[in-house]
Amino acid sequence: MSQSDQPTALDLPMADPLPEATQKYFDICQEKLGMVPNVLKAYAFDVEKLNGFTAMYNDLMLGDSGLSKLEREMIAVVVSSINKCFYCLTAHGAAVRQLSGDPKLGELMVMNWKAADLDARQTAMLHFAEKITKESSATTEADRQALRDVGFSDRDIWDIANVTGFFNMSNRVASATNMRPNDEYHAQFR
């Protein structure tokens, strides 16, 4: 594998062979997405780490929630924008473009989410995600109440906090390892 084909700057090759269940998961990604996301390839040097990462991701981003999939992707982009995470901005910016059907919204979210035409619910959610990304220890009951005031339940607030926390962790790992987004993301849903 050449340097340009490696998902990160670290020399951590994927397990070979991949366990049958992991290979099946990668095959499903290839079929549905047209690629295996590099983040999965990066974690595949240790299948237990990959399984932990994908279980948390799938629960937070695809599981039952009062947050729509688009809202969760919007959180991912706002957090990644603050953290300047190239991988996540590229991958989740594409997801916002896809889920919203609006390429302009995807670009606005990546560049400056506050310039996007968002409703009060989305704005409050993203202000909260921004605050806990920049200064989580300053979060107060007033911040949580602002979310309740626009219709979020306490369970929704839990989900907002967890999606935000997950992407703060992921951003730091991606930046620290120079994780590269798949080229396919750049042209998707424009």
Q: What are the tens digits of pLDDT across the range 24-47?
A: 999 999 999 899 999 999 999 999
Distance CA 53, CA 49 (A): 6
DSSP structure class, residue 54: H
137 DSSP assignment: G
* pLDDT over threshold 50, residue 5: yes
* 181 vs 187: CA distance, rounded Å: 12
The answer as to whether 171 is a domain residue is yes
Which of 189, 174, 17 minimizes the C-alpha distance to 88? 174
Tokens of 125: 């959610």
Query: How many domains, in total, are found in the chain?
Result: 1
Work out the pLDDT band at 75, boundaries 50, 70, 90.
Answer: very high
150 located within any domain:
yes
Structural contact between residues 2 and 180, judged by C-beta atoms closer than 8 angstroms: no
- Read off the tokens for 54: 């994908």
Q: Is the pLDDT of residue 2 over 60?
A: no
**pLDDT reading at 58 higher than 60:** yes
Closest CA to 51 of 26, 75, 76, 73: 26
- Domain membership flag for residue 84: yes
Listed residue (12, 22, 76, 18) closest to 45, CA to CA:
12
* pLDDT band, residue 51 (cuts 50/70/90): very high
Look up the domain containing 122 and give its range.
69-187
Amino acid identity, position 19: P
Cα 71–chain centre separation: 11
Q: Which helix H or strand E contains 131, and what residues bound it?
A: helix 120-135
Q: Flag whether pLDDT at 184 surpasses 80.
A: no
Give the residue among 45, 64, 80 at the shortest CA–CA distance from 185. 80
In a domain, 136, yes or no: yes
The one-character DSSP state at 139 is -
Taking only the tens place, the pLDDT of each residue in 87-116 is: 999 999 999 999 999 999 989 999 999 999
What is the pLDDT at residue 182?
82
58, burial (CB in 10 Å: exposed 0-12, middle 13-18, buried 19+): exposed
Flag whether 28 is in a domain. no
* Cα–Cα distance list, 167 to 30, 42, 71, 80, 163 (Å): 23, 16, 14, 7, 6
What CATH number has the domain bearing residue 118? 1.20.1290.10
Against a cut of 0.75, is the pTM above it? yes
In a domain, 177, yes or no: yes
Output phi, psi for 144, to 5 deg: -70, -40
Is residue 4 domain-resident?
Answer: no
pLDDT at 188: 61
